[in-house]
Every structure is written in C-alpha cells, then in structure tokens.
Amino acid sequence: MTALNKHSLSQNHLDENKLFFLVPQRIDGQFNIPATAAVIDPNCVDKIPSCWNLPDDNCKAPYEDWAREYCGNRCGYCKGLPTPAPACEDNLPNCADYDISVCSDTNYRSWANLNCRFFCRLEFCSDCFDKVDCRQYDMSVCGDQYKLWASENCPLHCGTCTGVTTPLPPCVDTIPNCKDYPLSTCTEPSFKLWVEDNCRKYCGICE
C-alpha cells in the first residue's frame, strides 16, 4: 500500500492554506489511492456559534446567501474541520416544565435545540432513553421475569440499547429548606430518589 505523505501529491496540489487528505478506497478487494485528494479548508469556519442549532431549512433559499456567509461549514458550502455536535444537556433548569411538543414544533424546535437538548434527547440526541424513572428499580427488573416491560420502558437503564450519557446534575439543593430535615433523611433508602432530586448538596451526595 502506498505510503501517504505530502510527496504523494504533486507540487501543484500543495497549498499552505489547505489540508489535503488521500483516502484509500477499496475496489474489488484492493486498496487504491484516488487521483484527487479530499480538501479541508481550515478557513471554512462558521462565524456565529449557533449555526448547529439552526434547522436545515436555514441553509437553503431564501436564506442561502446568509448561510454561505455565516454558516458555510455547517451548511456544507465549504468543507472545514469537523464540528462536534453540542453536548446533550439542558441549559435551562426548567426544561421538564415544557410540553414535549416544543421539541418538534417548528416554531420552537430551534429554541429547544439550543436550551433543552437533554429534555428533547429523542429529537436531538438519541432514540435510546428510559420512558419512566428507572432509578427506582434495581437491575433485577431487567431479568427474564420483566424483560418485555423493561425493554419497552427502561432500555437505557437495562443496557439493551446505547444512548447518550446523562449529565450529572449540579451540586445544589433545589428546595430552600433541606436543612430542616434530619440528616438521617439523607441515608434512608425510601427517600433516596427524593434526596437525589432535591437535597444533593445538603446530603453530600455530589460526585
């Protein structure tokens, strides 16, 4: 197999402002080096940080001129370095208070993608998620006796599919009166989920 280095290209192909890659192609069981190189232009960058939060329609007419100017990489008008997708996490503390329809409604989808990606994870991140709060179950719920129910309701918890990693909640108390509860509340098994949701800092369960 031919070694890939800058000498594999003719001098006419070399440009200090661009990165060239020769990608081997498998044809009839043999690896072949294509005659032309894939070009990545380091100057092809989006000029605003919200390009990946915009719907695909914003890349097309009647917005094409704007998209070429400000979101050329995201919209495919030039080939820049790959841009990672935004983290699958909520930027607002109250996303769960909204109706799930905000995730797909064309009037709110861009807003939801920017602010509530984890809440809208089925739309923006993954189709592997738990439909109920599966934290209340131990792993025995994934066994044969409840397998059908678990695969439908707790596939992420049971590992029957691979989804996005749930971000750790912030180390804060979400209610103002955690200190009014006895410390024994923090270790009482029957209050475990309540403590995780409400008094993480007071109970010292932050990771």
Residue 76 lies in a domain: no
Q: Cβ of 150: how many Cβ atoms within 10 Å?
A: 22
Q: What is the pLDDT of residue 22?
A: 41
Tell me how far apart the alpha carbons of residues 44 and 33 are, in angstroms, rounded to a whole number.
Answer: 25
In a domain, 112, yes or no: yes
Predicted pLDDT at 82: 67
Q: Is residue 30 part of a domain?
A: yes
Each residue's pLDDT, cut to its tens digit, for the chain (207 residues) gives 333 343 333 433 444 455 444 444 444 444 444 444 456 788 888 988 778 777 778 888 899 999 999 999 888 898 887 666 677 788 999 999 999 889 888 788 888 988 998 888 878 876 677 877 888 888 888 988 888 898 888 888 888 877 665 666 788 888 899 999 999 999 998 898 899 888 999 999 986
Q: Is residue 23 a part of any domain in this protein?
A: yes
Do 138 and 153 fall within a single domain?
A: yes
Three-state DSSP at 136 gives helix
Query: Is residue 120 included in any domain, yes or no?
Result: yes
Predicted pLDDT of residue 169: 75
Quick one: CA dihedral 86, 58, 76, 73, positive or negative?
Answer: negative
Provide the number of structural domains found in the chain.
4
DSSP, collapsed to helix, strand or coil, labels residue 167 as: coil
- Considering the domain boundaries, does residue 78 fall inside one? no
pTM (2 decimals)? 0.39
Domain co-membership, 183 together with 156: no
Q: Which domain holds residue 157?
A: 128-165
Same domain for 118 and 134, yes or no, is: no
In a domain, 57, yes or no: no
User: Is 72 domain-assigned?
Assistant: no
For residues 141 and 49, what is the distance between their CA atoms, to the nearest angstrom?
Answer: 43
Maximum distance among all alpha carbons in the chain?
Answer: 76
Assigned token pair, 111: 């807003």
Residues 6+ apart with CB under 8 A from 147: none
Number of helices (H) and strands (E), helices first, in the chain?
A: 8, 4
Q: What is the pLDDT of residue 134?
A: 86
